Amino acid sequence: MKLKTLAACLAVAATTFGLLPAASAQTTMRISISIAQNSHQGVAIDTFAREVERRTAGRIKVQPFYSGALGGERESIEAVQLGTQELTFSSTGPVPNFVPEARILDIPFLFRDKAHARMVLDGPIGQDMLNRFDSKGFKALAWGENGVRHMTNSKRAVNTPDDLKGLKMRTMENPVHVAAYKGFGIVTTPMAFPEVFTALQQGTVDGQENPLSVIMAAKFDQVQKHLSLTGHVYSPAIFLMNKAAFDKLSAADKTAFIEAAKEGVKVNRARVDEDDAKGVAELRSKGMQVVENVDRARFVQTLAPVNADFERQFGKDNIDRIRNVR
């Protein structure tokens, strides 16, 4: 009896002083975005983090980082691929540098509107594309949304494609975007997002292009005078996880991560819709001059030579398959 009591006391002491592994050790992972917490991306990763912790009964904690604290989008995606960071939520801007097949999603005027884009991404085409990430060192958990991109600049109102000629514009580090914007006559300057505000402030570039959600979250109204609702590109976003880290999870925890990402997407898209509904009025109230009605057909026509090249690159049938989703 005394021996049993002694053994029990030793076990308690060992656990108390860390001599035995704790039964409920918590794993902490990191997820990052390049813009502010109060944004459509911030609500996505905050919701994801809460859902992972809830669905794993607190065994796995996800720590969010905002405003490029762990680097820009390209750096964060690279870190996830290498395994030095577990998770990121990013626009698809730099993604083609890692998964070239994803380039097709960044073709200008590919999608009719957000509803069309969401239908494609949530359907067979989008799910097939998620699977393409596996061989590149990623587990793509779910498609989110960055939003429909518009043009801003500090020089002049943009009503037609001709108004873009000669403007120095920051673009994402994305070969499809760069090729398209050169087709407009823009002087393209690929740049990581954390550098953009300062570049606009100092006049290194004249303008940039982003969804209203990003323009508001980044406070670009402070350094940009003109906004044109060109809606030239639908910009997806994506939850990415290091493939090896995902593969180590139990089947139940894998499901928890995927379902948590889906919950993050719901609030992410809802915030984009909210920002789109109020964005123009809010940015006008802060002094931006907004051109709401551009001649979309003229913008599409101007890119005809570039689109012909895209059809050769990606296959007209593949592009039409996306365009024809109803």
Residue 15 pLDDT > 90, yes or no? Answer: no
pLDDT digits (tens, 9 = 90+) for 244-292: 999 999 999 999 999 999 999 999 999 999 999 999 999 999 999 999 9
Residue 121 Rama label (left phi>0; alpha psi -120 to 50; beta): alpha
CA atoms lying within 13 Å on the CB side of residue 224: 33
Domain boundaries, the chain: 2-323
Report the pLDDT averaged over residues 131-147.
98
Residue type, 160: T
pLDDT digits (tens, 9 = 90+) for 184-207: 999 999 999 999 999 999 999 999
pTM, two decimals, is 0.89
Report the pLDDT averaged over residues 57-72.
97
Of residues 122, 177, 126, the one with CA closest to residue 149: 177
Tokens representing residue 114 in the block: 């957000």
Is the torsion defined by CA of 83, 44, 194, 161 positive or negative? positive
Predicted local distance difference test score (pLDDT) of residue 25? 73
Of residues 145, 151, 131, 139, the one with CA closest to residue 77: 139
Answer CATH for 2-323 from 3.40.190.290, 3.20.20.140, 3.40.190.170, 3.40.50.300 = 3.40.190.170
Predicted local distance difference test score (pLDDT) of residue 100? 95
